[in-house]
Amino acid sequence: MIPIHLKLSGFLSYRDPAEVDFTAFHLACISGSNGAGKSSLLDAMTWALFGQARKRDESVINLQSKAAEVAFTFEYEGNTYRVLRSLPRGKTTALEFQILDDGPQTADDETRSTVLSSGMWRPLTERSVRETQARIEQVLRLDYETFINASFFLQGRADQFAQQSPTKRKEILGNILGLEIWDVYKERAAARRKSIERDLDAVDGRLQEIDAELAEEPQRRERLSTLEAELARLTAVRKTQEAALESLRKAAASKIAAEKARLEEELRGLKEQAKAIDNQTTALGDLTARLENAKKSLAEAEQKIASRGSVEAGRSAAREEHARLKAENELLKAQMDELKERIEQLEAAGGADCPLCGQPLSEEHRRSTLEQLKAEGKEKGDRFRANKADMAELAKQIAEYEAQMVKFEAVERERLAASGALAQLTERVDSIQKTVREWEAGGAKRLAEIETLLASEEYARQEQSTANDVRRAERTLLDLQEQENRLNQEVGAARQKVNVLDDLRARRKRLESEREELALQIGRYHTLERAFGKDGVPALLIEQSLPEIEAKANELLNRLSDGAMSVRFVTQAAYKDKRREDLKETLDIQISDGAGVRDYEMYSGGEAFRANFAIRLALSEVLASRKGARLQMLVIDEGFGSQDTLGRQRLIQAIRAVQDDFAKILVITHLEELKDAFPARIEVEKTERGSTLQIF
């Protein structure tokens, strides 16, 4: 991984936005006073990539800020990626992962900077922060622990490995190589072995139960034989009793059955009569109600017919008056026509003689005669019209009388129908009441008598003494059948207990095979536990990794010492007890120089530092390569202040010696005199608004 650009704000000591363009240098130091915020830049990288720094909670948020935000751009395996992580105070983390499209796979720093500002970022963000984090680690092929162990030389840890005891060295090497997973494998193997042991205990318990049942086989077979013999005897007794009962039944069955059948037939007929009587009794209430309704209807019809005479009289009077008025109007019509003719003649006469009587006629006499005739005509017209109005009213009355007379015809039919229904209903009610009285006097008593006879079985008394013997024989047979049924159940249960023994033997055989397989699995898991233990596969992996670490360390140490020094790891040594022929497991470090071969503990100063640096860097490279990643960035926070002048010079020489092996190297120091020892530096300063930085 090659860092390209880092931007942070509100993160740890950085309140205001700060940016680092890594394309401006290859090797640089991060300088500044203690507490200025130098290490916070490294924390920002790990927090952006893994959500982890010196702390993981909201304490990474600057005290004066609402949120911590870091954007980290880097190149890896020919691709350019960007991670943006933010944590608002009181809220959850937001995480974005992006890849740069439309950019050259390999480019110099100037070209890469141009692409970053103009290229298109394609999201690789997953559905959740957890899934996005997993994708980042999948792309990098590194997790947080591997990353900081491979790329970061933190203060006081360069000689952590070399200065430990041999046993502790193995433990540290195992942790660096990620061998603690084998402890998990061992625990899983032990858990699986214990689970199988519990299964084995359960199988042993079932085998014990089966053996206990198989031991009862003689007693079970003996009881089955006894029960079968008793069942055979009881079956024979039951069959004898059945034959005796059949003989008794045949002796008395005919006459008793015939008398019973006769009585039952008579009972059936009486019950039918009783049912019919019940039906008639039920119908009697309805008939009585209908009878009362018929009486009421007849009374209402007769009451209506009683008013028919007055209606007929009114109709006759109206007809006579209508005829009189009609005759009078006919006479008035003739008189009015005559008057009209006379008036017309007078109006048309112009001579001195009256056209009506032939006498001389003056104008005044003609006018008075016309007025007299017109007045007489008006009087007759008024009477005519009045009569006509009265005739119309009489016609309405006559029509109403006619309608009423028509209704009287329907009422008459109703009266006749009600009268007929009343007669019929009265006859039916009387008939039913008579039938009920006759049934209560005879049939009902006979019905009760027959029911009593059949219930008490006191018919055919002479034959009943034989029937008593039949009942006793039936009870005896019933007892025998119940005993036989119970014994059959006992025989079935006993036979089942015997038959199950064969199934138990087959099951025992299967369980023994299962037990052998479980025992074999337990042995295998015991073997796996030993293999997964510290003296098993982890020890072999350490043995396999040591030559690689040794080769890497010697390659670096050769450059750091101009070929004067080499290192060798010794994994076995003789016991102090010379009588023991075996070797003890160890992890000693032997260094060879011009004076010979000596243990690491015999060295100090520059030689020890160069050995420490070479071994630590070799461990980092092996760790990164085993995770499938390439170590392209080196960060050294090793505390130059703890070194004397010569030690500081040696450290700078060591860094320069390996600078071509890394794309980017960052060295953290607070010493002013070392700033000029590096081609570039990031100067960090603490102000009132937090940390700030400048690149020189």
Domain co-membership, 559 together with 678: no
Last residue of a domain, one of 582, 607, 626: 626
- pLDDT band of residue 599 (cuts 50, 70, 90) is confident
Domain co-membership, 14 together with 109: yes
Q: Tokens 């300063």 label which residue?
A: 685
Counting residues of the chain whose pLDDT is more than 90, the rounded percentage is 28
In tens, the pLDDT along 512-538 reads 999 999 999 999 999 999 998 877 888
In tens, the pLDDT along 345-356 reads 888 876 556 666
How many CB atoms lie under 10 A from the CB of residue 677? 18
Q: Report d(CA 227, CA 225) in Å as an integer.
A: 6
Burial of residue 200 (CB within 10 Å: 0-12, 13-18, 19+) is middle
Inside any domain, residue 666: yes
Domain co-membership, 85 together with 43: yes
- pLDDT band of residue 106 (cuts 50, 70, 90) is very low
Cβ(411)–Cβ(304) under 8 Å?
yes
Q: Tokens 């040696």 label which residue?
A: 650
Cβ(647)–Cβ(609) under 8 Å?
yes
Domain co-membership, 136 together with 8: yes
Last residue of a domain, one of 626, 641, 660: 626
Cβ(682)–Cβ(694) under 8 Å?
yes
Q: Report d(CA 569, CA 549) in Å as an integer.
A: 9
Domain co-membership, 110 together with 1: yes
Whether the per-residue pLDDT at 156 is higher than 60: the answer is no
Closest CA to 296 of 415, 408, 406: 415
Tokens of 614: 């070479």
- DSSP secondary structure string for all residues of 462-528: HHHHHHHHHHHHHHHHHHHHHHHHHHHHHHHHHHHHHHHHHHHHHHHHHHHHHHHHHHHHHHHHHHH
Tokens of 631: 């170590």
Give the CATH number, domain containing residue 637. 3.40.50.300
- Count of all residues that appear for the chain in the document: 696
Inside any domain, residue 248: no
Q: Report d(CA 562, CA 50) in Å as an integer.
A: 39
Inside any domain, residue 269: no
Inside any domain, residue 73: yes
Higher pLDDT, 29 or 419: 29
Domain co-membership, 37 together with 126: yes
Cβ(210)–Cβ(442) under 8 Å?
no
Domain co-membership, 2 together with 41: yes
Domain co-membership, 620 together with 635: no
Q: What average pLDDT does this structure show over 351-366?
A: 69
In tens, the pLDDT along 243-263 reads 888 887 777 668 777 777 887
Sorted by sequence, the CB contacts under 8 Å of residue 498 that are 6+ apart come out as 217, 220, 221, 224
Q: Number of structural domains, the chain? A: 3
Closest CA to 27 of 694, 657, 691, 672: 657
Q: What average pLDDT does this structure show over 543-553?
A: 84
- DSSP secondary structure string for all residues of 263-289: HHHHHHHHHHHHHHHHHHHHHHHHHHH
Q: Report d(CA 84, CA 355) in Å as an integer.
A: 141
Inside any domain, residue 502: yes
Inside any domain, residue 67: yes
Domain co-membership, 74 together with 106: yes
In tens, the pLDDT along 371-397 reads 898 899 899 999 999 999 999 998 998
Sorted by sequence, the CB contacts under 8 Å of residue 415 that are 6+ apart come out as 298, 301, 302, 305
Last residue of a domain, one of 479, 509, 532: 532
Cβ(130)–Cβ(19) under 8 Å?
no
In b/e form, how buried is each residue of 315-341, taking b as 16+ CB within 10 angstroms? beebeeebeebeeebeebeeebeebee
Cβ(5)–Cβ(97) under 8 Å?
no
Report the chain's mean pLDDT, rounded to a whole number: 83
142: left (phi over 0), alpha (psi -120 to 50) or beta: beta
Percent helix, strand, coil in the chain, to 5, is 65, 15, 20
Lowest mean pLDDT among 271-275, 293-297, 480-484: 293-297
Q: Give the pLDDT score at 133.
A: 95
Inside any domain, residue 521: yes
Whether the per-residue pLDDT at 132 is higher than 90: the answer is yes
In tens, the pLDDT along 38-82 reads 889 999 999 999 999 877 788 999 999 999 999 999 999 889 999
- pLDDT band of residue 197 (cuts 50, 70, 90) is very high
Cα separations (Å) of 218 from 119, 215, 532?
92, 8, 52
Inside any domain, residue 56: yes
| 3-state secondary structure labels for all residues of 584-617 | EEEEEEEEEECCEEEEHHHCCHHHHHHHHHHHHH
Tokens of 103: 């950019």
Lowest mean pLDDT among 285-289, 590-594, 691-695: 285-289
What letter would DSSP give residue 360?
B
Tokens of 463: 């034959």
Domain co-membership, 563 together with 602: yes
Q: Report d(CA 637, CA 667) in Å as an integer.
A: 6
Cα separations (Å) of 253 from 259, 261, 343, 454, 475?
10, 12, 128, 15, 17
- Coil/strand/helix, residue 20: strand
Q: Give the pLDDT score at 631.
A: 65
Q: Give the pLDDT score at 71.
A: 97
Domain co-membership, 129 together with 7: yes
Domain co-membership, 211 together with 193: yes
* Domain of 585, in residue numbers: 169-175+537-626
Strand partners, 622: none
Q: Give the pLDDT score at 20.
A: 95
Q: Give the pLDDT score at 461.
A: 67
